[in-house]
Amino acid sequence: MKTVGIVGSPRIGNTSFLVKEALNILGHEGIDTELVHLKGKEVKPCDGCLRCKKELKCVIQGDDFDALFETMKEADGIILGSPVYFGSATPQMMSLLDRAAYVQRQTREYFSGKIGGPIVVARRAGHNFTLAQLLLWYFINDMIVVGSTYWNIAVAGSAGKHDIEDDKEGIETVRHFAKSMSFVMKKLNS
């Protein structure tokens, strides 16, 4: 069994820290993990050509989408981590999710039954909106979402003023989520 953690930030910072926390717990529970940063990768936005309806794959070429989509398809679990950018998930994350979901909608097989959940980081506001945005992606893709003792959110700024490591509750919430996720993965695959 494998879980991929996708970090939608264009930098390696707070979101990466939290997704790594989750993957570490899953790793300790015996689940293979892979950390994927969208930083340094290009994923063009969906252009609405709808050719995926016929071809059952995304036909946009010349970026990193195909490799990322393969990684998502192969995993049993998918964690999506995003910082809040003006009240929503990053455009890097949404480009990937839009295209992946539209292909999934044509096939109804790639993501069905996979397990996961979102992780969101912001300096001050927009956590719940972004969390909901990512949850809606899981739900429309026929996936199984795992909860925690609080929403999977953390407070951390970009200039070290609100340091991610100071948000003990956020880290604990994410660790609990990862433990529950490994529990569900093992139950469903036993």
The residue of the chain with the least Cβ separation from ligand FMN equals 13
Please, what is the minimum distance in Å from the beta carbon of residue 29 to ligand FMN? 24
CA 82/CA 130 separation, integer angstroms: 8
CA 178/CA 15 separation, integer angstroms: 15
**44 vs 123, beta carbon nearer ligand FMN:** 123
Contacting positions for ligand FMN (CB under 6 A) = 9, 11, 13-16, 83-87, 121-126, 156-158
**The two three-digit tokens of residue 53, written as one number:** 């309806």
Please, what is the minimum distance in Å from the beta carbon of residue 107 to ligand FMN? 31
**150 vs 183, beta carbon nearer ligand FMN:** 150
**The two three-digit tokens of residue 4, written as one number:** 């991929």
**87 vs 113, beta carbon nearer ligand FMN:** 87
- Element spanning 5, H or E: strand 2-7
- Element spanning 145, H or E: strand 144-145
CA 18/CA 176 separation, integer angstroms: 12
Please, what is the minimum distance in Å from the beta carbon of residue 90 to ligand FMN? 8
**The two three-digit tokens of residue 92, written as one number:** 């890097």
Please, what is the minimum distance in Å from the beta carbon of residue 164 to ligand FMN? 7
**106 vs 128, beta carbon nearer ligand FMN:** 128
Determine how β-strand 32-37 pairs with β-strand 2-7.
parallel
**The two three-digit tokens of residue 178, written as one number:** 């990862």
**23 vs 103, beta carbon nearer ligand FMN:** 23
Please, what is the minimum distance in Å from the beta carbon of residue 93 to ligand FMN? 11
The residue count of the chain comes to 190
